[in-house]
């Protein structure tokens, strides 16, 4: 899992260095009902798998027929023609990392009965992160689904907030600044460093 997520980040950086303006680094779902996607987005697990095969529903990593998940594209940079292989629309998770934060449910009334793990449905590239909600009565009652953000990030028990912070790389100035320094001169000149005033 770590190697795949590292490869996704490296691919994102490579596309940006080559001048392709892909912006999205991460998707984070929190308490998401996509754990029930085979029922919510399709009529059955077979129907769901058919939609994945037809490239209607993206997975992480991308899966479907044996056709390639990328296409050749040409573009101009400073009057020079360049080519690049771009992911097709069914493969956004080739370079976008997916993290799913959820509070495990027990007996349908304890924890969050709406959210749950997503990797079993959308693929092993999804990082499922179970968290414990802070107050016992919030995590043990049906309305736990609204309890992810009840504690401030400074609270050491605020697991959901701290995991969101960590997974999104909110303190990402270090790797983003290094990435900007590696960008072609034409695209990075004059760009302020992360954390600096423009």
In whole angstroms, give the CA distance from residue 160 to residue 140. Answer: 16
What's the whole-model pTM score? 0.71
Q: What is the pLDDT of residue 42?
A: 92
Q: What is the pLDDT of residue 41?
A: 92
* Percentages of the chain per state (helix, strand, coil), in multiples of 5: 35, 15, 45
> Which residues in the chain come in under a pLDDT of 50?
137, 139, 185-195, 197-198
Cα-Cα end-to-end distance for the chain: 36
Q: What is the pLDDT of residue 156?
A: 63
Note whether 138 and 144 are within 8 A (CB): yes
């Amino acid at each position: 899992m770590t190697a795949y997520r590292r490869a996704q980040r490296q691919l994102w950086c490579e596309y940006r260095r080559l001048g392709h303006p892909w912006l999205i680094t991460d998707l984070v779902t929190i308490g998401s009902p996509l754990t029930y996607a085979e029922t919510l987005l399709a009529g059955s697990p077979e129907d769901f798998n058919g939609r994945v095969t037809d490239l209607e529903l993206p997975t992480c990593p991308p899966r479907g027929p044996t056709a390639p998940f990328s296409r050749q594209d040409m573009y101009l940079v400073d009057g020079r023609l360049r080519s690049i292989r771009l992911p097709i629309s069914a493969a956004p998770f080739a370079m976008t990392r997916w993290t799913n934060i959820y509070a495990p449910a027990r007996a349908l009334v304890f924890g969050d009965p709406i959210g749950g793990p997503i990797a079993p449905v959308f693929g092993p590239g999804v990082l499922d992160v179970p968290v414990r909600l802070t107050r016992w009565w919030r995590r043990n009652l049906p309305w736990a689904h609204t309890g992810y953000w009840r504690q401030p990030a400074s609270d050491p028990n605020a697991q959901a907030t701290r995991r969101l912070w960590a997974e999104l790389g909110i303190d990402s100035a270090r790797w983003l600044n290094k990435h900007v320094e590696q960008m072609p001169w034409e695209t990075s000149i004059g760009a302020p460093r992360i954390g600096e005033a423009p």
